[in-house]
Each structure stands twice: as structure tokens, then as C-alpha cells.
Structure 1
Amino acid sequence: MKIRDLLILISIIGIVMMMVVPLPTALLSVLLIINISLALTILLLAMNTQEALQFSIFPAILLVTTLFRLALNISTTRIILSTGEGGNVIETFGRFVAGGQLAVGFVVFLILVIVQFLVITKGSERVAEVAARFTLDAMPGKQMSIDADLNAGLINESQAKERRHKIEREADFYGAMDGASKFVKGDAIAGIIILLVNLIGGFVIGMAVQGWDLQTSLETYSILTIGDGLVSQIPALLISTAAGIIVTRSASEGNFAHDVSSQLLSYPKLLYVVAGTIAFLGIFTPIELILTIPIAVILAIAAYRMQKAMNMRQVEADQMEEEQEIEEVRSPESVMNLLQVDPIEFEFGYGLIPLADAQQGGDLLDRIIMIRRQCALEMGLVVPVIRIRDNIQLKPNEYVIKIKGNTVANGELLLNHYLAMSSGIEDESVSGIETTEPAFGLPALWIDEQTKERAELSGYTIVDPPSVVATHLTEVIKRHAYELLGRQETKSLIDHLKEHSPALVEEVVPNLLSVGDIQKVLAKLLKEKISIRDLVTIFESLADYGSYTKDHDVLTEYVRQGLSRQITQQYATSGEVLKVVTVSPAVEKKIAEAVQQTDQGSYLALDPVTSQTIIRKLNEELQKLLQLGHQPIVLSSPTIRMYLRHLTDRVLSDVPILSYNELESNVEVQSVGVVNT
């Protein structure tokens, strides 16, 4: 056992022995000074800790110091009652505080006891009780937060273990403080009882045993009782204050002095108000100016110096921030930030800034939120955050949309105008600036407010500039959705599906297919504007056919067949005949014969003349269907659908190509054109 441990054990045993073994007066005086010193040390430590756990031994110290004070009370009571003396420390405290007037001494002592018992002790007890309860209630939430940070990779296993240990220590500490605060309350009650014992017992012993008269007994034992009470209650008050400081520290970034200086004095302008109020009291009330004016001047000077110091610190902070920014630009690591490419960017000229400025009535940010929600519902895709910025290199009214740093669409807006699109019947009285609707490429006019009502009466479709941008951005996202779906986004979708269909996901990933394989299948679906929201059906198809083939095109065809009801509802209106363009058997045979099989998959090796002929004939038939007012749709056999899609992908990418297996049996289909060569 170390000497330090041995001294602690001897001290605890000595405290217990003090209760039964009489002590010399000189030794008792030394122990009383030690008690006061110990109480001051504990108070200063409590004020200089940044958080409660830095003084985690405080509940145990509270118990030991309370036991030490009670032992001293018993020893001093024994000496006072047996000898009529209390030593130099007790007599000095009693005579100094009483000042020759016993009534004053008793009042001071009672006030001290009331302050400790009713104010500090009772408040500390309540705070400790509430803190212990809230800490225990918050433990599950804190544990879940740590697990979430660990799963997200924000912290490692050792950091998570350290945080869990800290939570356990906090719960233990506040639970111990809740119990230890009862010691302080009991000590205050014991102090009052000991006061009465010393006073009443001293009168009786002084007159009956010592043979003193009433005045001598009253004066002697009153002074000793007051001194003994003060010597014990002052350290108790200091430790009670320390307990209150410990349990009331929350959301602190420094010690007690730092918090006071940084928070209580953080608003110098308020000191000017206080200084003015004090000066007002001196001028307009009977309070003398000689009392109020110096204090008001001191407060005003302090506020001025504090404001000046805060301004200097702000300037230094700004300079430091600028230096850090310059240093970051100079550092080699800053170049890495330039390599980051945003998935989607929306840039606009300075003339379109009101679109994105909420203070000027712009609601572009709110519209983008709705676009992301719409894409999630219609396509099953979580659209990445869209970066919005102004670009002085663009024309004032121009905007561009970028996908992974490359411009894919642009347009121009006139903010004080409306976009008017004709329904097919032109009205010459409606005049404006000719333009093209950016989302679908339709001819349109920019009209002013005065022409808007006339255009509406003439059957024009009127759209405001924010809606034009929102529609264009939505269509661009749908058209390039397959580019926005990477492996990381696919992994997020799989994790979301795994929450409610774990068996399905575990069968497919990674036993049958990798995340990259699934990403390619989903991207092919999105490229043909097929929603991937029904991931359960998609994964069911992949689970059924993933063991037979790893060809992404073939897997996509199986998935499309599994989504037949969804595809049917997407293109066929209930109760109406679906009008399509079909491919002749001869053309299908040519395409089938031109398919080449390799180890990496199959591809279409059709000669250029035949390819151009098929594309031309197909375009002619689609134009006829379009002129009839129907959506252009191509219907082919399942065996050649994907190859026909590859053949027409560059020139007819927006035309849906379906197979017979992708349509429900209750749909009536009418062929209005056949592609022949």
C-alpha cells in the first residue's frame, strides 16, 4: 500500500475516533482551521472545473467532509460543555462576529443557517435530483446517437467506447450527487440541534456544575456557541455552494470565471443602460450623487473598454480567418476541393437573381424541394442536392443546367413577362417576343402583363418564369436520371429496402449480383423512363433470374416484364385503345439474325444501310401516329426489343419501345403502322 493510501485510511479512522476520544484544545483549533481550508479548496476546485466529471470524486468528498464537520462539532461540544472553553479559534469567531452584542451574534448565525438550509442546500438538492432523473432518462437516446455515429463512420470503435463510458460516469455521478445532497441537508439540521444543545446545556452546566451566576453563564456559553456554530457553518456553507456550482454547470466551455466573463459581460452596450439608470437614480431621487455618479462612471468606462476590446478581437479574428483562407489556397490540399464535381448545378445570370432570393419574393428553392419530392414519387430516385449559384459570365437573363459539370440544357427568361403557348389556333391580336419553350421545344411567346388576359381568353397556356424553370429542370432530371444513379446511391436504396425486406436483399446482394450489377439494371430502367420505386418487384425479378444470367440487358428485360402492370398503366389509359407502331416479322428476323453473342454479352451487328432504312421507316410511321394526336409508341417482340432500343437510341431516344410481355392482357392494342424494309 502506498503512503498516500495509508494516510487517507488513517485520516478516515481519525475522524471516527474524534467522536469518542477527547482532543486537546490546541489540536482542535488546528483541525478547525484545516476544515476551513479544505472547504475553500473544494469551492475553488468546483469553480475551476469545466464539466462535472472533472470533479467526479465530489460526492465522496462531500460525505467525508460532512463526517469531519460532525466529528468536530461533537469534539467542540464536549470541550465547551466540560470546560467552558472552546479554544482560540472558536472564541475569536464568537467575539469578532458578536462585537460585544450577543443578540447581533445570534442573528448573524441564524441568518447564516437559514441561508444555507433554505436557499443553497434546498436548491442544490432539487437540482441534483432533477439532473439525475434527466440524465438517466436521456441515456437510451445518447446510446442510440453514438451507435448512429459509429454506423455512419463519423467515429471509430474506441471513440464510441469512450463516449459510452462517459455517459455511464455521468449517470453514476448525478445519481451519487442526488444522494450526497441529503448529507448537506442533514448537516444543516444537525448544526441547529448542536447550537441548541450547546446553548441550553451550557447554561445548565455553568450554573449547576461550575457555580457561575446567570449573566456569566449566559455570556460565556453564548460566545462559545456562536463561535462554534460559525466555525462549523462557514465551511458547510462553502461546500454547499460548491455542490450547487457542480450540479448547475451545463453547456459550459470553460471554468466558472471564464463563463462569467464571456457570458455575463458579453454585451457591453447593456452596461451603458445600467450606468444611465444608476445616474438617473442619483439625479431624480434623494439618493446622493456622490454615491451614484462614481458607480455610473465606472460602469460606463468598463463598457467602453469592453466594447473596444471586443472590436479588437473581432478584427483579429477576421484577420486570422483571412490568413487561414489564404493559407488554405496556398496549401496543396486545397486543390483536392476543386476536383469535386456537383451532380446537378443550376447557374443563372445576375438578372435572374430575384428567382432565388427569398427576400425579393423568389421561391426557386422551395420549388426545387418539390421537384426532388416529385422525382422520388414518380421515378423512385433520390435526386442529389442541386447546387444553385449565379454566374456573371452568363447573359443577364440566361440560365444553364449542368450534370456532373457539363452543360446539358440552357434557356432564357424574362422575369416581367409570361410564357404563352398556343393550343394550335393562333390569335394575331396576341403579340409578344417569339421564343421556344425550353423543356419541350414548343414555339411560344413572351408576353407582358397587359397581354396576359387576352391570351388566356384566346386559349393560350400561360406560364410564369419560375414555373418555366421548374418544368425545364424537372424534365432535364428525368432525362438524365440514369446518370445521377451511381453505386453509392444504389447502395442507399438497397439499405432502405433492407429495412423492411431483409430476406429479399440478402438473397440478391451479394450472393447473385453485386451493387454495380444492380446499378446498371436500375440505370437502364431510368434511361427509358421506367420508375424504380417498386424495388421489391425489381429485386424479386433479379432473385428469380440472377442465377441464370449476369447480362445486364437480359436482366433488365426480365425486370421490365416483372413491372408489366406499372408499364401498362404508364402508357395505356384505362378503357382506351393503345395505338402503337409495330415491327414487321421480316424486320424482326433481320435484327435477330444480326445479333452476335460474345463472352461479354450480345450486341447488334447490323449493316449501316439496313440500320438507316429501319430508322427512317420507323420515324415515318411514328410521325403518322403523332399527327393523329397519339403518343408515339413502338411495340415489338420480347426477343428483339432491347436490340431495337440500341438501334434507335441516338435518334429516337424519347420514343418508348415496349414488348408484348410488358403489357397486361386486358389492354386492347391497335397497330396504326408497321415498319417494313
Structure 2
Amino acid sequence: MNARTGFLARRPEVLQGTNLRALAGPILICMILGMMILPLPPFLLDLLFTFNIALSVMVLLVSMYTMKPLDFAAFPSVLLFSTLLRLSLNVASTRVVLLEGHTGPAAAGKVIESFGHFLVGGNFAVGIVVFVILMVINFMVITKGAGRIAEVSARFTLDAMPGKQMAIDADLNAGLINEEAARKRRTEIAQEAEFYGSMDGASKFVRGDAIAGLLIMAINIIGGLIVGVVQHGMPIAAAGETYTLLTIGDGLVAQIPSLVISTAAGVIVSRVATNEDIGTQLTGQLFTNPRVMMITGTIILMMGLIPGMPHFAFLVLGGGAIQLGRVLKKNAEAKKASAVLADVLPAAAAPVENAEASWDDVALIDTLGLEVGYRIIPLVDKNTDGELLKRIKSIRKKFAQEIGFLPPVIHIRDNLELRPNAYRIALKGVEVGSGEAFPGQWLAINPGQVSAVVPGTPTTDPAFGLPAIWIDSNMREQAQVFGYTVVDSSTVVATHLNHLVVMHAAELLGRREVQALIERVQKDTPSLVDDLVPKVLAVTTLQKVLQNLLEEGVPIRDMRTIMESLAEHAQRSPDAHDLTAAVRISLGRAITQQWFPGNADMQVMGLDANLERVLSQTLTSGPNPGLEPGLAHTLLTQTEMAMGRQQALGLAPVLLVQHALRPMLSRFLRRSLPQLKVLSYAEVPDTRNVRVVNVVGAG
């Protein structure tokens, strides 16, 4: 006997339980059909009517203790089977009533007799009224309301499915969930839509059951009179009373469970999914506000003092509500005091057994953060509509328009550890810039050509490092006359923030932003995206190419051209750096226009012929070429000198080199000379004239 056979031999009860549960549905269907066809004795009818009542109570309790509708996903099927069970019981009891009703009230069993005599006092007129009222409540109020809620919920759930699916995809792409969790959430969304759709249809069963019950009652009364008078020779009055009481008892014993099931349907579709059952929700939200309880109790007490009112009932309930409000208020104050005391007590007074660490203790770092001292808080205060908040919104919008993607939200918080007027800009939790701002004062920046010095506090412009002075408001116009560039404190922080955001654009382009760009392009050219990503090019490679472009100051607004170029070259070379070079050639016109607008001659820097030859030999020396220390020092020194001459002429610091040398020189020179831009001859359009005005390595 192998291990699998031995396991099955040791677990026969598991297989037996599974088989019995699988047979429950067919057995129930056969039982329902049998009750409609075969005659049943009164004793068995009593058992089945009792089972019907117990089933309805169970369904109601299960619906009240579920946390969300999908916890009771079988409810539409339960509603169908319970309706069929009640109708089959009506058929079976009708057969017994018409055949044996002339023998007395107990002809159809003790349950029907009890409902016909005890609940309505043996008065068939009262029984008819009670039965009709129950039908109206069930049909017009509960069932109709539950059906309407299910219909609207199904419509809203279907409308919200695309957004929920996109949210799941975004969480998956951001790495917040894995494939299994994403698949489970998609399944839950589909099941939720199917559940409300099924509930919308299943509510029609209860409405039909109510109508059928009304018709069955009329048919039983008329049929009983005919059978009792014609076949059994009973007086009309005696036959009417006997068969009417039996019919009313039969109807009540079937419609009361129907009313309970309808209530369960209303509870299921009307509740909002939380981590609490419906009883906890009601008590936790209805009886927790002491002010509400005390006002309600006062109103009831005042009504009880009106002459002619039942004083005892009103005074007792009003006093009880006021007392409950006082108790709730006292408990709330005690909780507040204990919370304050817990904050004041030292950490040593904490309980020895601390809760286990969980993933809720892991705090994700904000991509972009701005921390301010307490004197800068008015600039970012929502209540006072701080000026810096408006500028930050403008920064994100301008960045999206000029760079080509929407940067992450900038999270602002106060930091009491900073100096009162200091601020700190963090990228992924690491400080990338800091400075000071003085609300109410102005920063006069010296562009290098001022005619006089204004009095104030000397400082440095935090964005570009220019000499500046903090001045009072009354010196603003005078500083402008002297040639200063004068800006307010919020502009200082916003300019610094904008400068850093643009400088670190490559690091801000994450997987989520790339996916959003792909979806944006897909709206205009779906075939281009479908043919490229991810069939030919992985999303990670596309992200690396875009980051390479941003690192060299190339905007990615023209995503269509970028993706068309990638589609053309990706099959030949999957390397991100090779693809970046190919994309730069496709974007050559935009790159040159960025530094040399218009159609004027491009006045650039070039490489000395001997230096260019040495660099070309270095490039072909191996798979990972590197510059010798002496050559690297010479190249850096000569480039810095040529760049100084270029800027002295008021020209853009652009170095034009061979296409093969451009990637290596750009990576090397970008570290020490971030303002220098390295272009290749292949990126210059044929329509532009080039003039080399400064040569690197000539001096």
C-alpha cells in the first residue's frame, strides 16, 4: 500500500463528508419535486413546515453575521430553493386540506392548525387581514426595496469594474501586490458583479412567491367551499369557517418564513462591506454618540409631560436615553484621559509584552518630500490658501508639459527639528537640497550686473548658487532699480524645488509613470504599443531608455517618435544604451532646437583632431573601454577651459563629437560639468549649419 492509498484509508470521513455535501443539492430537488407529486401525511407536513421556518431563521442570522456580501455568495441559490420549498409545501398542504379538511382543523397537521387558531385567534376574518398585511409588507416594502438596491448595486459595480481593474494593474506594476493577489482581487470583483446581478434576478422569486401565495389562498378558499358543500354535504357557514382557517394557517406558515428570507435579502444587499457584522455596525454607529442620546431623551421626556400622553412609557424611555448618554459621555472622557496619560508616561511604563511586528509597521518612503520649519508653515497651510501650495501645483503641471510625464505628488510636512525658517527637499527619503526662506521678506538676486548694493542679510540663491540678499519689503523697488532680480519667499522655495525636480527627472520616472505613459500613447496609437510592449521590448528596458534620455536633459514628450524608433531598432539590439543612441538620432531635430532655437548657425565646441583620434583608439581597445587617468585629466581640463570661453561669448555650452564617441564623453563629462551638453553629428539635421567656435584640446 503506497503513501497515497494509506492516506485515503486513514481519511475515509473526509471523502464521506465531501460526497454527502455534493449530494445535498440533488436530494433537495428530489424532495421538492416529491412533495409536489406525492401525498404527504400530516406528521411529515409538520416536520417540513418546521424545517422551513428553521431554514429561514438560519438564513437571516447568516446574513446578519457576514462581513461582506461575497461571504454569502450562495444566497441567490438559497433564495431560489427556499421559494421552491415553500411552493411545494403549499401544493402538498393544499392537497391534504382539500382531501381531509372536512374532518376538522387538524386535518393538515398541528402546525397549520396552530397558525390558524393561535396566531389569529381562530377568527378567519382577522386571519385574512393579517395574511394580506404580511403579503403587502413582503411584496411592496422589503422585496421591492431589496430588488431595487440589488439592481442599482449591480449597475454601479459593473460601471466601477474598469477602474478597479486599472487600480489592481497599477498596484501590480508598482510591486505592491503579486500575481496571485492580483488574480484573487480580479476574481472577487467579477464575483461581486455576478452576485448583485443574481440578487437582482433572485428578488423576482420572492415577488412571484407573494403573488402565488395570494392566488393560492383564494383558490383554496373557493375550492374548499366547493369540496365541503358539494362532496361532503357540509353547511356553507361551517365549510367556510373550516377551510378558511386551514387556508389562512397554511398561508401564514408559508409567508412568515418568506418574510424572514426577504428581510435577509435586504440585509445582504443594503449593508456596506466592513470588518464588522450588521449588529456590531448598528450598535456601534447608532448608540455611541452621547449628545444624540441626551437630546433624544430630552425630547421624549418633553413629549411625556404633555397632558393625555402615556406618561410612564415616555418618561421611562426618555430617562433611560439621557442616562445612557451620560454613561457614554463619561466613558469617552475616561478614554481620552487614559490616552493623554499614555502619551505622558515614559516608555518604561509600557507593558512588557509588545505586539508582534507586522507589515503595517513598514512605512513607505515618499518619492518627493518637502519639510519646512514652523515659520514657513503659513506658506503651505491649506486653511490660509498658502501661496507655495499654488506654486507647487504649477510646478507639477509645467514639468508634465515640458518634460513629458507627471511627477509624483510632493508630500509636505512640518519638521520641528529644522531651523524656524529652514526647509528641506528629499528624494526617496534622502536630502537633495535645503535652504532658508523668510516670509514677509524678498530675496534680491545679483545676476552679476548691479549698480549698487542694497542693505540686507547676505545669502546665496539656493537654486543656482548666485549671490543674493534678503531685504525688507520697502527695499524691493530700490533693489529692482539697482539691477537685482527680486522674488518673494514662496518663489524662492518653488524655484529651488522646480530646479531639483528637473535635475532628478530620471529618478522620478518609475515603473508606474512608464505604465501611465504607455496607456496614454495606447489611446492614440494602440497598434504601435501592442506591437512593441511587451512583445519586442520589455517595460524595464523602455524605462531605462527613457531614464537615459532624461539624464541628458532630453524631454520625453514625443513618445510616439520614441516608440517608433524603438520598434525599428529593438529587434536588432536589446541593449538600452544602443537603443538610447538610436532614439536620440530620431529626436535630433528636437534636441538641437532645445539648445539652438530657430534656423541660425549652430555655434558649438569641437574636439581637436589628435584628441579625437586618441579617444577613438581608446573606444576600440576593448568591450569596456576606459580613459587613462592622464588622458581623463587632460580631457576634463581642456573641456572646462573651452566651456569657459564658450560661455564668455554668450553661447550655449554644447560639444559636438562623432556619434560613436558621444555616449562615453557624455557619461564622463556629465559628472564634473553638468551644464555641458554633448551632441553627435548624426543628431544634427541636414538643414542646420554648424560652426565650431571653440576647440577642446587646441590650447
Does TM, normalized by the shorter one, top 0.5? yes
> Counterpart of 1:452?
476
The question of 1:353 aligning with 2:377 is answered yes
Q: Distance in 1 between matches of 2:570 and 2:230?
A: 107
Q: Distance in 1 between matches of 2:173 and 2:670?
A: 42
Deviation digits for residues 223-278 of structure 1 (CA, Å, limit 9, x no counterpart) = 44544443444344334434444444452544443333233334343222221211
Q: Per-residue deviation at 1:295?
A: 0.9
Contact 2:122 2:245 in 1 (8 A): no
Contact 1:595 1:604 in 2 (8 A): no
The question of 1:185 aligning with 2:207 is answered yes
Q: Distance in 1 between matches of 2:79 and 2:354?
A: 49
Q: Per-residue deviation at 1:195?
A: 3.7
> Counterpart of 1:570?
594
Q: Per-residue deviation at 1:27?
A: 5.7
Equivalent runs, 1:125-274 vs 2, <5 Å = 125-127=147-149, 177-178=199-200, 180-200=202-222, 216=238, 220=242, 223-251=245-273, 253-274=275-296
Q: Per-residue deviation at 1:299?
A: 1.7
Q: 2:80 aligns with which of 59, 65, 70?
A: 59
In the alignment of these two chains, the number of paired residues is 668
> Counterpart of 1:439?
463
Q: Distance in 2 between matches of 1:552 and 1:135?
A: 42
> Counterpart of 1:116?
138
| RMSD, aligned α-carbons | 5.2
Deviation digits for residues 399-428 of structure 1 (CA, Å, limit 9, x no counterpart) = 344556665543322211122346776465
Paired amino acid for 1:61: S
> Counterpart of 1:73?
94
The question of 1:287 aligning with 2:309 is answered yes
SS of aligned partner of 2:419: coil
The 1:174–1:61 alpha-carbon spacing in structure 2 relative to 1, beyond 3 Å, is: farther
Paired amino acid for 2:441: H
SS of aligned partner of 2:273: coil
More displaced, 180-189 or 327-336? 327-336
Q: Distance in 1 between matches of 2:212 and 2:233?
A: 29
More displaced, 440-449 or 226-235? 226-235
Deviation digits for residues 191-240 of structure 1 (CA, Å, limit 9, x no counterpart) = 43444445455556666666666665555555445444434443443344
Q: Distance in 1 between matches of 2:398 and 2:315?
A: 68
> Counterpart of 1:663?
684
Q: Per-residue deviation at 1:501?
A: 3.9
Contact 1:497 1:505 in 2 (8 A): no
Q: Distance in 2 between matches of 1:193 and 1:544?
A: 75
Q: Per-residue deviation at 1:471?
A: 1.4
Contact 1:419 1:445 in 2 (8 A): yes
The 1:218–1:417 alpha-carbon spacing in structure 2 relative to 1, beyond 3 Å, is: same
Deviation digits for residues 485-520 of structure 1 (CA, Å, limit 9, x no counterpart) = 68998898789879744545679747xxx967984x
Aligned-residue sequence identity (percent) comes to 39
Q: 1:474 aligns with which of 482, 498, 512?
A: 498
Q: Distance in 2 between matches of 1:5 and 1:608?
A: 79
Equivalent runs, 1:81-120 vs 2, <5 Å = 81=102, 86=107, 89-99=111-121, 103-120=125-142
The question of 1:597 aligning with 2:616 is answered no
Equivalent runs, 1:362-511 vs 2, <5 Å = 362-380=386-404, 383=407, 386=410, 388-402=412-426, 408-421=432-445, 426=450, 431-456=455-480, 460-481=484-505, 500-501=528-529, 503=531, 509=537
Paired amino acid for 2:140: L
The 1:288–1:173 alpha-carbon spacing in structure 2 relative to 1, beyond 3 Å, is: closer
SS of aligned partner of 1:446: strand
Paired amino acid for 1:296: G
Q: Per-residue deviation at 1:484?
A: 5.7
The 1:594–1:290 alpha-carbon spacing in structure 2 relative to 1, beyond 3 Å, is: closer
Q: Distance in 1 between matches of 2:608 and 2:291?
A: 87
Contact 1:379 1:531 in 2 (8 A): yes
More displaced, 170-179 or 113-122? 170-179
> Counterpart of 1:278?
300
The 1:311–1:57 alpha-carbon spacing in structure 2 relative to 1, beyond 3 Å, is: farther
Deviation digits for residues 613-644 of structure 1 (CA, Å, limit 9, x no counterpart) = 73575255235414xxx445455666766677
Paired amino acid for 2:381: D
Q: Distance in 1 between matches of 2:253 and 2:562?
A: 82
Paired amino acid for 1:57: V
TM (norm. structure 2) is: 0.75
Q: Distance in 1 between matches of 2:517 and 2:497?
A: 23
Q: Distance in 1 between matches of 2:566 and 2:450?
A: 52
Paired amino acid for 1:53: A
Paired amino acid for 2:464: F
Q: Per-residue deviation at 1:143?
A: 6.5
More displaced, 35-44 or 70-79? 35-44
> Counterpart of 1:529?
553
Gaps of 5+ in 1: none
The 1:367–1:63 alpha-carbon spacing in structure 2 relative to 1, beyond 3 Å, is: farther
TM (norm. structure 1) is: 0.77
Contact 2:293 2:321 in 1 (8 A): yes
Paired amino acid for 2:73: L
Q: Per-residue deviation at 1:571?
A: 1.7
The 1:375–1:276 alpha-carbon spacing in structure 2 relative to 1, beyond 3 Å, is: same
The 1:313–1:230 alpha-carbon spacing in structure 2 relative to 1, beyond 3 Å, is: farther
The question of 1:300 aligning with 2:322 is answered yes
Q: Per-residue deviation at 1:461?
A: 3.3
Q: Distance in 1 between matches of 2:633 and 2:207?
A: 101
Contact 1:355 1:364 in 2 (8 A): yes
Q: Distance in 2 between matches of 1:71 and 1:578?
A: 99
Paired amino acid for 2:96: S
Gaps of 5+ in 2: 1-15
Q: Distance in 1 between matches of 2:36 and 2:357?
A: 72
SS of aligned partner of 1:597: coil
Q: Per-residue deviation at 1:287?
A: 1.5
Contact 1:48 1:255 in 2 (8 A): yes
**Which protein shows a greater Rg?**
1
Q: Distance in 2 between matches of 1:12 and 1:517?
A: 59
The 1:652–1:66 alpha-carbon spacing in structure 2 relative to 1, beyond 3 Å, is: same
Q: Per-residue deviation at 1:431?
A: 4.4
Contact 1:102 1:222 in 2 (8 A): yes
Paired amino acid for 1:74: R
Q: Distance in 2 between matches of 1:577 and 1:142?
A: 54
Q: Distance in 2 between matches of 1:134 and 1:491?
A: 27
